[in-house]
Structure 1
Amino acid sequence: MDRSPRVLPASARRVVAEGNLGYLEGARWHRGALWFSDMTRRKVCRMVPGRQVEDVADVPGVPSGLGFAPDGTPMVVSLGDGRLLGVKDDELEELADLAPVAFHPNDMAVDREGRAYVGPQGYEFGSDPIGVGLIICHPDGRIETGGEDLIFPNGIVISGDGRTLVVAESFRAPRSRLTAFDVVDGGALVNQRVFAEFGSPDIESVDGIAIDSEGAIWAGFPWIGEFRRVREGGEITDIIRIEPDKTVYPDGGAFAVDSVLGGPDLHTLYLLISDTNPERLVNGFDATGRIEAIDVEVPGLPD
């Protein structure tokens, strides 16, 4: 039986947003709209399919991971000043100060009880990587850690039944990987294990991830401009290859950053893509972003 991954044709994709967009992260589907962070412009954004992107909130500290409280309140990680914020009536409210326990908190997933699982970068680029745990922010204000020795925990997702959490370890050497946990009552993380491994983080660094209704992961690989659908154990079933827009940055690439499943029937995979290069990226997230969409067979999870 041929188990080679399918390469989905570029003709199946469509551009749904472009123009005044920068480096895009934190893709989430919520109540009929795509939400994401524009790190270049320091905005939390929202897009209803068929409409223009709207800016929801300014986050001076650079917005990153997004999630939603049980009452629908948007939650965003402010990377630069290490805070977890709520967006209420277009204003920002501090929910937790993460700076004392997390160096450069980044991506996030929020469960149905309102617990926020946040991945801290853990170390400065250029220095030796430091293994860290995820930060768990409970609705009552308690802050705990979960897991250990995670190297640059990045994209984070939670399964439909709330019992499995998967996190991307972007710069785990010698191979980047996805790491899974069981989530027990009360939100603690146990049974840390490898979900899938890839190649060298210098080439196959894994970034943002999305989860579908079968528990497979759509993962972005920014350095090579690919999105891959991966099952637990490492089988790759589908590949989407993104070509850079050389009219934007002639020496740059198409960074396949993040994705999420949404749309009316949850069969639309939204792809967050940024044309940039490493030098521009570290210089204030200098990038030109766009959002593409493609219809896929396995749907996402209801919000």
Structure 2
Amino acid sequence: MTNVQELADGFSYLEGPRWRNGKLYVSDFYTHQVLAIDESGKVELVATVPEQPSGLGWLPDGRLLIVSMRDRRVLRQEEDGSLTEHADLSELTTWHLNDMIVDEAGRAYVGSFGFDLMSGAPVQTANIVLVQPDGSAEVAADDLAFPNGMDLLDNGGTLVVSESFGNRLSSFNVDSSGELSARQDWASFGPEPTSEDIAEVLESVSAVPDGLCRDEDDTVWVADAIGQRVVRVAKGGEIVDQVSTGDLNVFACALGGSDGRTLFMCAAPTFAEHERRDTREGVLLTAKV
């Protein structure tokens, strides 16, 4: 059994983990903070985002991009630490922004909720927006069942995305300009839900794929938001490895560490905002994989 350890605690709800230059960068939703955590568990404040941070990534020149969820913007942190607007996605999306992946050229792919999840509104599909390095933006893909964690495979030629309420991972071909095409099921965990009631959807699926990250062989590690586990999935849907998080649910993951084989896992008792907002039960877990 994989040995899971707690690296740091006292958070509200962690999301969007990314390993870079010896530290794990992560967003803590309800404290509105982007944090950097080293392998000893030392935590430092990187930025404060009043409208709730989520997905993270970097431009080629090293400036940090941060999803600002509630006002549906992507922010850019300048060299002096200040935040400025990189892209306004409010006209292209219908509810909070979500996770993000940024490629080597500085193109950002940003997912969104599509509906008021935390109030139990009817389930609606959402889109992925492509933000070019200059901040211009367009819808790259639509009709996704809560597009969530993303990563790039095949040397950047394939984008894989969790459809959290679709019981699957989907993939797209990526062309030289970043455009997406040829959508297909990359991995299916069972039939696609048909209900618009979120409780019925959660009861009908075998997994809720949330944050994900690629492994060196183009398998992906995926946090299962209802399964207290992170699973390593091959194309087609075979689960080739998994790490249990015990009694805690896990919502995002990233590979990193000095050896490149540390799996960082963002865990908490639940994802419900009214339960996480005023508590500090979120933890960062690690396992060697």
- TM-score, normalised relative to structure 2: 0.89
CA offset at residue 290 of structure 1?
1.1
Between the aligned partners of 1:84 and 1:285, the Cα distance in structure 2 is 25
Residue 35 in 1 paired to residue 38 in 2? no
Q: Which moved more, 1:70-79 or 1:118-127?
A: 118-127
Q: Return closer, same or farther for 1:193/1:286 CA change in 2, 3 Å cut-off.
A: farther
Q: Which residue of 1 aligns with 2:198?
A: none
Between the aligned partners of 1:52 and 1:279, the Cα distance in structure 2 is 26
Of 186, 190, 198, which aligns to 2:177?
A: 186
Q: Which residue of 1 aligns with 2:91?
A: 100
Q: Which residue of 2 aligns with 1:82?
A: 72
Between the aligned partners of 1:236 and 1:135, the Cα distance in structure 2 is 29
Q: Which moved more, 1:205-214 or 1:154-163?
A: 154-163
Of 251, 258, 266, which aligns to 1:264?
A: 258
Of 57, 67, 72, which aligns to 2:47?
A: 57
Q: Map of 1:164-183 to 2, 5 A cutoff?
A: 164-172=158-166, 176-183=167-174
Residue 115 in 1 paired to residue 100 in 2? no
Q: Which residue of 2 aligns with 1:242?
A: 245
Paired residue total: 273
Residue 22 in 1 paired to residue 12 in 2? yes
Letter in 2 for 1:202: L
Residue 137 in 1 paired to residue 131 in 2? yes
Q: Which residue of 2 aligns with 1:249?
A: none
Letter in 1 for 2:81: D
Q: Return closer, same or farther for 1:187/1:92 CA change in 2, 3 Å cut-off.
A: same
Q: Which residue of 1 aligns with 2:197?
A: none
User: Deviation digits for residues 110-132 of structure 1, max 9, x if unmatched?
Assistant: 00110110001111233333333
Residues 114 and 127 in structure 2, CA contact (< 8 A), matched pair in contact too: no
Question: SS state of the match for residue 226, structure 2?
Answer: helix
CA offset at residue 277 of structure 1?
6.0
CA offset at residue 286 of structure 1?
4.7
Of 275, 278, 293, which aligns to 2:286?
A: 293
Question: SS state of the match for residue 202, structure 1?
Answer: helix
Q: Which residue of 2 aligns with 1:230?
A: 233
Residues 211 and 217 in structure 1, CA contact (< 8 A), matched pair in contact too: yes
Question: SS state of the match for residue 229, structure 1?
Answer: strand
Q: Return closer, same or farther for 1:51/1:239 CA change in 2, 3 Å cut-off.
A: closer
Of 66, 69, 72, which aligns to 2:56?
A: 66
Of 193, 207, 210, which aligns to 2:213?
A: 210
Q: Which residue of 2 aligns with 1:248?
A: none
Letter in 2 for 1:262: G
Letter in 1 for 2:151: V
- Where does the alignment leave 5 or more consecutive residues of structure 2 unmatched? 194-200
Runs of 4+ in 1 over 4 A off after TM superposition: none
Question: SS state of the match for residue 207, structure 1?
Answer: strand
Between the aligned partners of 2:112 and 2:158, the Cα distance in structure 1 is 19
CA offset at residue 224 of structure 1?
2.2
Letter in 1 for 2:162: A
Residues 84 and 97 in structure 1, CA contact (< 8 A), matched pair in contact too: yes
CA offset at residue 287 of structure 1?
5.1
Question: SS state of the match for residue 293, structure 1?
Answer: strand
User: Deviation digits for residues 170-223 of structure 1, max 9, x if unmatched?
Assistant: 112xxx110011111100011111011124651521111111111111111122
Of 211, 219, 226, which aligns to 2:222?
A: 219
Residues 133 and 146 in structure 1, CA contact (< 8 A), matched pair in contact too: yes
Between the aligned partners of 1:153 and 1:285, the Cα distance in structure 2 is 26
- Where does the alignment leave 5 or more consecutive residues of structure 1 unmatched? 1-8, 245-253, 297-303
User: Deviation digits for residues 73-131 of structure 1, max 9, x if unmatched?
Assistant: 11110101111001222321110111111121110000011011000111123333333
CA offset at residue 160 of structure 1?
6.0
Residues 62 and 78 in structure 1, CA contact (< 8 A), matched pair in contact too: yes
Residues 280 and 287 in structure 1, CA contact (< 8 A), matched pair in contact too: no
